[in-house]
A = this chain, B = another copy of it.
Amino acid sequence: MNGLHLTADLSGVEPALPVMLDPEALRALCLRAVEQAGLGAVGELFHRFTPAPGCEQTGITGVLLLAESHLALHTWPELGGVTVDVYVCNLGQDNSSKAEALMSALIEAFAPRSSRRQQLRRG
């Protein structure tokens, strides 16, 4: 169960970016980034929240289940914010560098004005 959990909380993200608003755009980004990092997606779930009255923008929650654990993102376009979780177990091999590569690719895609990164050793 030894693992690494990376988090990034992004602010100052352009609210009109497709990956902030469109579940299909976010899904495509996640699948591409996971594959490029050398991790394996085994399941997916993307949910767009219902727009509130008077507000066209709404956030998305997206999760990819990985063979190595999971990736989860929440977007808050109304705040220009995104949170990202990349959690990998390190059973059999150390997936830490893949997790770091995945996180870097996702942060780059959102081009935030600032990001706050944290990490936990799991297990």
Give bound CA distance, A91 to B116, whole Å.
18
A120 contacts B120, C-beta separation under 8 Å: yes
Q: Report the interface size for chain A: residues with CB under 8 A from the other chain.
A: 33
Decide if A16 is an interface residue (CB 8 Å cutoff): no
A63 contacts B69, C-beta separation under 8 Å: no
Give bound CA distance, A116 to B3, whole Å.
13
CB distance from A16 to the nearest CB of B (A): 18
Give bound CA distance, A116 to B45, whole Å.
28
A65 contacts B47, C-beta separation under 8 Å: yes
Decide if A72 is an interface residue (CB 8 Å cutoff): yes
Question: Which B residues are CB-close (under 8 A) to A87?
Answer: 72, 83, 85
Q: What 16 additional pairs, Cβ within 8 angstroms, besides A63-B70, A70-B72?
A: A1-B83, A7-B122, A42-B47, A42-B49, A43-B45, A44-B45, A45-B45, A45-B63, A45-B65, A61-B69, A63-B63, A72-B72, A81-B123, A83-B87, A83-B123, A118-B120
